Amino acid sequence: MSSVNKVVLAYSGGLDTSVIVRWLQDTYHCEVVTFTADIGQGEEVEPARAKAEALGVKEIYIDDLREEFVRDFVFPMFRANTIYEGEYLLGTSIARPLIAKRLVEIANETGADAISHGATGKGNDQIRFELGAYALKPGIQVIAPWREWDLNSRESLMAYCAERSIPVDFSSASKKSPYSMDANLLHISYEGGVLEDPWCPPEESMWRWSVSPEAAPEVGEELTLTFESGDVVAIDGEPMSPATVLAHLNRVGGAHGIGRLDIVENRYVGMKSRGCYETPGGTILLRAHRAIESLTLDREVAHLKDELMPRYAKLIYNGYWWAPERLMLQAAIDDSQTVVNGDVRLMLYKGNVIVTGRRSADSLFDDAIATFEDDAGKYDQADAEGFIKLNALRLRIAAERGRSVLGGE
């Protein structure tokens, strides 16, 4: 076991990370610095300070990272219209590089020689935290207790607390949700419990941010989102900060049953995992962003972005936010967004996000050319004949050489 003098722990104040504080002290005989991030999870983070103090922690960091999270991580990801495996909006994945960055920054500030996290050895988060940490501080030591200790159940963790007088509210701990949940301003996720059977439907009581589409209002709600360089800067004409935009869209989207998802995804570690997600604001953002791009982006730029997006999504899902290939793709994506400006009007209704209008000073839509009426000579339809013949040339040559496209004939 390597010698560790001081370690920075990503600390929630819950059962698992409270146990980790004492386990690090007992196992590594080191000083522990706790770091608690407010990234919009909807829970008070300040109580973590008293819990850490009760465990003898002297250096305690509690940071409000909501604006940085949305501005520097969520918005850049949405400029790419990012979806993993056709469905997942990467709510958990995109939060991890920010936490890794702050862990390294605090390690530098406090002179710590290690960082630690509470991710298990079965999931993706261990990879995301550690790839980020190594990219930002190559010599950092990482301690992942779930890969070292033998405390492999909730009961063993609670017994550990009782044996060592770790201050934990056992009544609330025993009443904890049967699901493993992760929340931030972009989403809330649910895993475990009955969801471990892919055929078992999620309980309605599980969902926390949204009503079911069936219970949503009978009357829809109209919104207008204003974009500048690919990011939403105002809603219904009211300027808003990035975090305020997402929080607002979460509230109105959840009220209309928008953003629920139930998927089986392929984890980077090799297994399939079933998860349920609520991403109301992100679902609205994605639909609106694609709408404004449809008006402002060149066709081939838009198509190339769509081709690159799955690769970009996989990089984020697998933990490569700080990798040079992601940074290269981001530079190209961001360059494309300089013309993505304007307004998108939406109707939210019973789980649906319906685009009802879009406008932009940078629009490439030319109604004089697209019209079904007289275009006054702006488009010569006779030109289409040569265009079609040139594009058919290779098909005609192949057919003339007897290469059948009908199969078996």
150 is catalytic: no
Task: Say yes or no: 157 and 201 in one domain.
Answer: no
CA distance 68 to 78: 15
- Residues 45 and 62 sit within 8 Å (Cβ to Cβ): yes
Supply 56's token pair: 């003898």
Among 130, 157, 176, identify where a domain stops: 176
Residues 209 and 149 in one domain: no
- Total domains in the chain come to 3
State the Cα angle at 169 between 166 and 174, rounded to 5°: 115
In a domain, 120, yes or no: yes
Which of 96, 260, 326, 358 is an active site residue? 96
Domain boundary among 176, 200, 233: 176
CB 107 within 8 A of CB 5: no
Measure the CA–CA gap between 92 and 125, rounded to whole angstroms: 8
DSSP string, 168-215: --HHHHHT--SSEEEE-SS-EEEESGGGGSTTSPPPGGG--S---GGG
**Domain co-membership, 61 together with 189:** no
- The residue from 180, 229, 294, 363 that is catalytic is 180
pTM here?
Answer: 0.95
Query: Does 269 share its domain with 139?
Result: no
Q: Alpha helices of 319-345 — where are they, by DSSP H? A: 324-336
Query: Which conformational region is residue 25 in: left (phi greater than 0), alpha (psi within -120 to 50 degrees), or beta?
Result: alpha
In-domain check, residue 365: no
Domain that holds residue 291: 182-297+340-359
**Is the domain of 219 the same as that of 123?**
no
For residue 169, indicate whether it is catalytic.
Answer: no
Nearest alpha carbon to residue 9 among 141, 133, 103, 134: 103
Query: Strand pairing partners for 227?
Result: 232, 342
* Contacting residues for 23 by C-beta, under 8 A, at least 6 apart: 145, 149, 151, 160
Residues 6 or more apart whose CB falls under 8 angstroms from that of 153 comprise none
From the list 16, 63, 334, 375, the catalytic residue is: 16
Give how far Cα 140 sits from Cα of 8, 27, 95, 115, Å.
Answer: 11, 18, 20, 7
In the chain, DSSP finds a helix count (H) and a strand count (E) of 14, 14
Do both 27 and 103 map to the same domain?
A: yes
* Statement to judge: residues 133 and 279 lie in one domain: no
CA distance 7 to 107: 7
Does the residue 166 lie in any domain? yes
- The reply to whether 12 and 43 lie within a common domain is yes
Do 115 and 229 sit in the same domain of this protein? no
pLDDT in tens, the chain (409 residues): 668 999 999 999 888 999 999 999 999 999 999 999 999 998 888 889 999 999 999 999 999 999 999 999 999 999 999 999 999 999 999 999 999 999 999 999 999 999 999 999 999 999 999 999 999 999 999 999 999 999 888 889 989 998 888 877 655 555 567 888 999 999 999 999 999 999 999 999 999 999 999 999 999 999 999 999 999 999 999 999 999 999 999 999 999 999 999 999 999 999 999 999 999 999 999 999 999 999 999 999 999 999 999 999 999 999 999 999 999 999 999 999 999 999 999 999 999 999 999 999 999 999 999 999 998 999 999 999 999 999 999 999 999 999 988 876 5
What values do phi and psi take at 354, rounded to 5? -110, 120
Choose, from 22, 38, 79, 125, the residue flagged as catalytic.
Answer: 125
Do 220 and 161 share a structural domain? no
Output Rg (C-alpha) for the chain, integer angstroms.
25
Active site residue 22: no
- Print burial letters for 277-290: b (CB count within 10 Å at least 16), e (below 16): bbbbbbbbbbbbbb
Tokens 């935009």 — which residue? 245
- Asked about 362 being catalytic, the answer comes back as no
Whether residues 282 and 145 fall in one domain: no
